[in-house]
A and B are shown apart, each in its own frame.
Chain A
Amino acid sequence: MSTAETKAAGSKPGRKAPAGERVADWADGRLGIYSLAKANMRKIFPDHWSFMLGEVCLYSFLIIILTGVYLTLFFHPSMNEVVYHGSYVPLQGQRMSEAFSSTLHISFDVRGGLLIRQIHHWAALIFLAGMFVHMMRVFFTGAFRKPREINWLFGFLLFFLGMFTGFTGYSLPDDLLSGTGVRFVDGAILSVPLIGTYLSMLVFGGEFPGGDFVARFYSVHILLLPGIMLGLVVAHLILVIYHKHTQYPGPGRTEKNVVGMPLLPVYMAKAGGFFFLVFGAIAAIAAIATINPIWEIGPYRPDQVSTGAQPDWYMGFAEGLIRVMPGWEINIWGHTLVLGVFIPLVIFPLVLFAIALWPFLEAWATGDKREHHLLDRPRNAPTRTAFGVAWIAAYFVMLIGGGNDLWATHFHLSLNAITWFVRIGFFVIPVLSFIATRRICMGLQRRDREKVLHGRESGIIKRLPHGEFVEVHEPLTQEQLHTLTAHEQPKPLELEPEVDKNGVARKASMGQKMKVRLSKSMYGEDKFVPKATAEEYQEITSGHGHH
């Protein structure tokens, strides 16, 4: 109603509005776009490179969908055996599945087909890598705190589903490398107690490899998983807009505002432009570097294999787990418990979900129910940062395990030694990195404190009249002082007194006790360096020139 009135008042009577406005009026009458635009057209987005990591993921996801649709026009998801007579000489006359031969057709006989295939695959690797880094940015800055926990889970689910979308896609060409990966999947399914063999028969439509899995993986890869992911991406973006973006602490930035550039025009130009930059860069990579050259790999046969059989990087963590696990197998009462395969299969999601659940643990241990829109500097949350680094350490140790044969040949090491290193490292390295990171964080906190109280080391050495040399410290500006002291410092939870004010005794529950203990171990007195207070600052600055 009010929009209609203002519009009538705004346009001069008797003169037709410009065409663009008329189209917008038409759409507004049906979609209500003016109200939408009022809220969002000049919406503020803070500018920081680390806030664009999510855009890298979004755009590579779009690129994957675009190129993927193109590929479906040529790919035959069939395992029917054919004899190849296409243009790639070293495979002519070979038996292979239609899936493999149609992938060769895309690569060698469709103009631009190889480019689109390579863009699709490179974009997939970058999509997953982008999600990983984006997730770490959100984690280390504490952007997952209330009200964004659900969006954190959406993002994590996107990463998790992305891994399987990638894996099913990688398996589609039915080449010798991916077939070996599918063979592993079959072995992993078979290891499931009780129902493993039944599951395996259901997945493969009979015994491995059967004639069905390419067609089945195809519908999962192009329909089921991307469909869910698209929904999650949309929900993720809606929540980002609804919550408004977080921002780094700094002058003028508070929990109650968001400082940055308006959507129209700056952010639109930058974000829109960034899509083209991402697409252009990936296209250029696809022009200069080959990926998954299935013609070199050859068609899948269950009795053939190549050394260096690895999955794409995002499955390297799982590959590492499976490679370094000792071969435990228990036979009792006529049944076999294949722990050597089943334990990694269980650890794999558990480790991944550990980071996904951290926000809830942290909220529980801090008892903090407020909204947070200002980001933490990682050093100011030592326990969280240390946990994140430990998690990454475990992840990367397993990535090394997943490529143990290649590290062996390229660094002239023994395969067995690397495997042992990873076996021990998986337990030891995360613990060491946890301890080291927490100490480094506290060291940095201490340095911030020094900087606030005594100023910045200027590098200028001054000789005093009596011969002493001192370094001149320059005081910080108020902006810097504010930025370095704006963060809150944690207080561990305390148990409520056993006897309350009215003298009624009450017992703390087990859960409460656990919570308090956890809270103390995370935020106790020796777990942070108290930040400089205004009183300390004034005391030091009033004693002028006294360092």
Chain B
Amino acid sequence: MSSQDIPEETLPSKQGDTREGAVTVKGDPFADPGLPPHEHRVQDIDERAARRSERAVAFMFTLSMLATVGFIAAYLAIPIDKNIYVFPLGHVSAMNFTLGLTLGVALFCIGAGAVHWARTLMSDEERIDERHPIEASPEVKAKVMADFAEGASESAMGRRPLIRNTMFGALALMPLSALFLFGGLGPKPGTKLRKSKWAAGKMLVNQNTMQPLRPEDVQVGSLTFAMPQGMSEEDHDFQVQIAKAALMIVRLRPEDIKDKQELDWSVDGIVAFSKICTHVGCPISLYEQQTHHVLCPCHQSTFDLSDGGRVVFGPAGHALPQLRIKVNDKGYLEAMGDFAEPVGPAFWERG
């Protein structure tokens, strides 16, 4: 027999006719009938059901205790570098998996126990609280206004405007000193954003092999990244410098180059472009060797390397800067100067 089938006689008699909060307007079919009468749960009238609930709550609290013991055991016993295969998660850290699950169960069971307790054993009779307006009563307001007027007149602020005005002036100026203190956070921009480590005579060093590049190393359709000769990862300002100097080298067939200046600045179709996107500065190097487009992986600006690095799609505002290169007398590629314009994102003084 299910506990749901409770004979009617064991149910408490229905509540009286007067309901809490009822607003009875004669003849209004939509009038508020007030709170519906409270109905009892199985647990309220069947002690066996209540005891079952009690056991369920206690079971969850006990499970939580066991899980905590499990957590401590796992913390102490499992080697931190041990990996296990768990379907369908894959090869996961045994420690992370066990600690997380035991902690999760320990916490969850406390919550589930408390909620089950509240839902089945604590009273579920709805109650009513009255609300009171937030606004103060007119008497309170009048009192406050009077107090304020009294206080204000005692301060003599209204009668002595000189004090008032100079005080406001002082308070308004004071934060300026704080503002100036923040000036120490960084240097003035100066020409820092305009210059990179590239200079005339600096060879193009291949970032994979750390060797200077020769024209014959660079094949049509290949992609190579280079940095200026003399730079090293150990330099203290390496990150700042590579953020401007990073270079991407591709080789096109000279007849494919549409832009005259690009052709002039290249060596046998080898062109060197800044790797830093002119939009907001992501390293852009998704080079499609058949279309000669490079795509930025961050915001999808697309540049055409066969046409002076022109923007063909996306949010970038100007072409990729090209580095003018030549072959030196030892047969290596070298820069003929710095980039002609600032690399990376545009800024107010860029012009």
Interface residues of A (CB under 8 A from B): 42-44, 87, 95, 108-109, 111-112, 114-115, 118-119, 147, 180, 183-184, 186-188, 190-198, 200-211, 242-244, 251-262, 265-266, 269-270, 272-284, 286-289, 300-309, 322-329, 331, 334-341, 371, 373, 404-405, 415-416, 419, 452, 478-479, 481-482, 485-486, 534, 537-538, 541
Stretch at the interface among B25-33, B142-150, B249-257: B25-33
A183 contacts B28, C-beta separation under 8 Å: no
Q: Kindly identify which residue among B34, B246, B313 contacts A303, using a CB–CB cutoff of 8 Å.
A: B246
Complex CA–CA separation, A87 to B81 (angstroms) = 8
Residues of chain B within 8 A (CB-CB) of A251 are 32-36
Residues of chain A within 8 A (CB-CB) of B108 are 276-277, 280-281, 283-284
Q: Kindly identify which residue among A118, A195, A210, A309 contacts B298, using a CB–CB cutoff of 8 Å.
A: A309
Q: Is B335 an interface residue (CB 8 A)?
A: no
Complex CA–CA separation, A188 to B344 (angstroms) = 12
Complex CA–CA separation, A265 to B122 (angstroms) = 7
Residues of chain A within 8 A (CB-CB) of B33 are 251-252, 478-479, 482
Interface residues of B (CB under 8 A from A): 19-23, 27-36, 75, 80-81, 89, 93, 95-101, 103-115, 117-119, 122-124, 126-131, 133-134, 182-183, 185-189, 192-193, 207, 225, 227, 233, 239-240, 242-244, 246, 275-276, 279-286, 297-301, 311, 313-318, 344-351
A418's nearest neighbour on chain B, judged by CB, is B300
Complex CA–CA separation, A95 to B283 (angstroms) = 19
Q: Give B281 Cβ to nearest chain A Cβ, in Å.
A: 5
Task: Return the 4 tightest CB-CB contacts between A and B, nearest first.
Answer: A287-B100, A187-B280, A280-B108, A329-B317
Q: Kindly identify which residue among B19, B21, B96, B193 contacts A197, using a CB–CB cutoff of 8 Å.
A: B193
Residues of chain B within 8 A (CB-CB) of A115 are 95-96, 99-100, 103
A336 contacts B346, C-beta separation under 8 Å: yes
> Apart from A371-B133, A541-B29, what 5 extra A-B contacts exist at CB < 8 Å?
A115-B100, A253-B21, A269-B117, A273-B112, A283-B104
Complex CA–CA separation, A331 to B349 (angstroms) = 10
Q: Give A113 Cβ to nearest chain B Cβ, in Å.
A: 9
Q: Kindly identify which residue among A201, A258, A269 contacts B129, using a CB–CB cutoff of 8 Å.
A: A258
A257 contacts B118, C-beta separation under 8 Å: no
A286's nearest neighbour on chain B, judged by CB, is B100
A191 contacts B345, C-beta separation under 8 Å: yes
Residues of chain A within 8 A (CB-CB) of B114 are 269-270, 272-273, 276
A196 contacts B32, C-beta separation under 8 Å: no
7 CB < 8 A contacts A-B:
A184-B282, A244-B131, A256-B131, A258-B131, A280-B106, A341-B280, A482-B32
Q: Kindly identify which residue among B30, B75, B115, B246 contacts A537, using a CB–CB cutoff of 8 Å.
A: B30
A340 contacts B107, C-beta separation under 8 Å: no
Residues of chain A within 8 A (CB-CB) of B346 are 190-191, 329, 336, 338, 341
A206 contacts B127, C-beta separation under 8 Å: no
A254 contacts B30, C-beta separation under 8 Å: no
Q: Give B232 Cβ to nearest chain A Cβ, in Å.
A: 11
Q: Give A133 Cβ to nearest chain B Cβ, in Å.
A: 20
A276 contacts B351, C-beta separation under 8 Å: no
A276 contacts B107, C-beta separation under 8 Å: yes
Residues of chain B within 8 A (CB-CB) of A193 are 348
A273 contacts B115, C-beta separation under 8 Å: yes
Knowing A256-B131, A303-B225, A415-B300 touch, does A186 contact B280 (C-beta < 8 A)? yes
Knowing A187-B279, A265-B118 touch, does A327 contact B349 (C-beta < 8 A)? no
A114 contacts B93, C-beta separation under 8 Å: yes
Q: Give B41 Cβ to nearest chain A Cβ, in Å.
A: 13
B80's nearest neighbour on chain A, judged by CB, is A111
B80 contacts A95, C-beta separation under 8 Å: no
Knowing A147-B134, A266-B122 touch, does A331 contact B32 (C-beta < 8 A)? no
Knowing A202-B186, A281-B108 touch, does A301 contact B242 (C-beta < 8 A)? yes
Q: Give B97 Cβ to nearest chain A Cβ, in Å.
A: 5
Residues of chain B within 8 A (CB-CB) of A87 are 81
Q: Give A542 Cβ to nearest chain B Cβ, in Å.
A: 11
A284 contacts B101, C-beta separation under 8 Å: yes
B21 contacts A301, C-beta separation under 8 Å: no
Q: Kindly identify which residue among A256, A283, A302, A325 contacts B100, using a CB–CB cutoff of 8 Å.
A: A283
Q: Kindly identify which residue among A186, A279, A288, A326 contacts B315, using a CB–CB cutoff of 8 Å.
A: A326
Complex CA–CA separation, A193 to B349 (angstroms) = 9
Complex CA–CA separation, A419 to B279 (angstroms) = 16
Q: Kindly identify which residue among B104, B298, B350 contacts A280, using a CB–CB cutoff of 8 Å.
A: B104
B contact face: mostly helix, strand, loop, or mixed: loop
A277 contacts B123, C-beta separation under 8 Å: no
Residues of chain A within 8 A (CB-CB) of B193 are 190, 197, 207
Q: Kindly identify which residue among A44, A191, A329 contacts B127, using a CB–CB cutoff of 8 Å.
A: A44
A259 contacts B35, C-beta separation under 8 Å: yes
Residues of chain A within 8 A (CB-CB) of B240 are 206-210
Knowing A277-B112, A336-B347 touch, does A327 contact B36 (C-beta < 8 A)? no
Residues of chain A within 8 A (CB-CB) of B188 are 198, 201
Q: Give B95 Cβ to nearest chain A Cβ, in Å.
A: 6
Residues of chain A within 8 A (CB-CB) of B131 are 244, 255-258, 373
Q: Give A211 Cβ to nearest chain B Cβ, in Å.
A: 8
Complex CA–CA separation, A371 to B135 (angstroms) = 10
Complex CA–CA separation, A280 to B35 (angstroms) = 36
Complex CA–CA separation, A487 to B135 (angstroms) = 23
B315 contacts A341, C-beta separation under 8 Å: yes
B186 contacts A204, C-beta separation under 8 Å: yes
Q: Kindly identify which residue among A209, A254, A266 contacts B243, using a CB–CB cutoff of 8 Å.
A: A209
Q: Give B347 Cβ to nearest chain A Cβ, in Å.
A: 4
B248's nearest neighbour on chain A, judged by CB, is A303
B25's nearest neighbour on chain A, judged by CB, is A534
Knowing A184-B298, A200-B189, A305-B282 touch, does A207 contact B243 (C-beta < 8 A)? yes
Residues of chain A within 8 A (CB-CB) of B119 are 270
Residues of chain A within 8 A (CB-CB) of B99 are 112, 115, 287
B184's nearest neighbour on chain A, judged by CB, is A202
B351 contacts A371, C-beta separation under 8 Å: no
Q: Give A473 Cβ to nearest chain B Cβ, in Å.
A: 16
Complex CA–CA separation, A494 to B178 (angstroms) = 51
Q: Give B210 Cβ to nearest chain A Cβ, in Å.
A: 14
Q: Give B26 Cβ to nearest chain A Cβ, in Å.
A: 11
A303 contacts B283, C-beta separation under 8 Å: yes
B345 contacts A252, C-beta separation under 8 Å: no
Q: Give A535 Cβ to nearest chain B Cβ, in Å.
A: 10
Residues of chain A within 8 A (CB-CB) of B36 are 251-252, 479
Complex CA–CA separation, A275 to B112 (angstroms) = 10
Q: Give B49 Cβ to nearest chain A Cβ, in Å.
A: 18
Knowing A186-B345, A273-B112, A309-B282 touch, does A534 contact B100 (C-beta < 8 A)? no
Residues of chain B within 8 A (CB-CB) of A204 are 186
Q: Give B292 Cβ to nearest chain A Cβ, in Å.
A: 17
A329 contacts B318, C-beta separation under 8 Å: yes
Complex CA–CA separation, A254 to B33 (angstroms) = 11
Complex CA–CA separation, A238 to B115 (angstroms) = 24
Residues of chain A within 8 A (CB-CB) of B246 are 302-303
B111 contacts A276, C-beta separation under 8 Å: yes
A264's nearest neighbour on chain B, judged by CB, is B122
B281 contacts A273, C-beta separation under 8 Å: no
Complex CA–CA separation, A482 to B36 (angstroms) = 12
Complex CA–CA separation, A323 to B299 (angstroms) = 5
A190's nearest neighbour on chain B, judged by CB, is B347
Residues of chain B within 8 A (CB-CB) of A329 are 317-318, 346
Knowing A183-B281, A191-B345 touch, does A288 contact B29 (C-beta < 8 A)? no
Complex CA–CA separation, A165 to B170 (angstroms) = 34
Report which residue of B279, B280, B314, B316 has the largest number of chain A beta carbons within 10 angstroms of its beta carbon: B280
Q: Give B249 Cβ to nearest chain A Cβ, in Å.
A: 13
B285's nearest neighbour on chain A, judged by CB, is A305
Residues of chain A within 8 A (CB-CB) of B275 are 303
A44's nearest neighbour on chain B, judged by CB, is B129
Q: Kindly identify which residue among A95, A260, A308 contacts B233, using a CB–CB cutoff of 8 Å.
A: A95
Residues of chain B within 8 A (CB-CB) of A256 are 130-131
Q: Give B15 Cβ to nearest chain A Cβ, in Å.
A: 13
Report which residue of B182, B207, B242 has the largest number of chain A beta carbons within 10 angstroms of its beta carbon: B242
